[in-house]
Amino acid sequence: MPLTPRPVAVLFKAACPDCRARFELAAGALRLAIGASRRTTFYSFTCPECGTAVRKPAGERIVELLTGGGVRTLRLHSTV
């Protein structure tokens, strides 16, 4: 049997545009929303410093990183 890859605890670096704090977030603290276009594809988190809900656009690379890191993904459109 092939080795089963174990989930790795990944930390994502993020910064708050509101209070300018920099921090690292675990996958569980982030959410990714994939929309029909790049404009509607974004990730969001709550700043641990000031509590602001932050939403940032997610490019292809970020989407790959986040999904690969086990971040919950919400698909806003259905292609089926």
Residues that bind Zn ion (CB under 5 A): 16, 18-19, 21, 47, 49-50, 52
Q: What's at 21, amino acid-wise?
A: A
Residue appearing with tokens 């690292």 = 24
Nearer to Zn ion, 10 or 54 (CB): 54
Nearer to Zn ion, 15 or 76 (CB): 15
CB of 23 to Zn ion, least distance (A): 9
CB of 67 to Zn ion, least distance (A): 25
Instruction: Work out whether the CA dihedral 19, 22, 26, 30 comes out positive or negative.
Output: positive
CA atoms within 13 A on the CB side of 24: 5
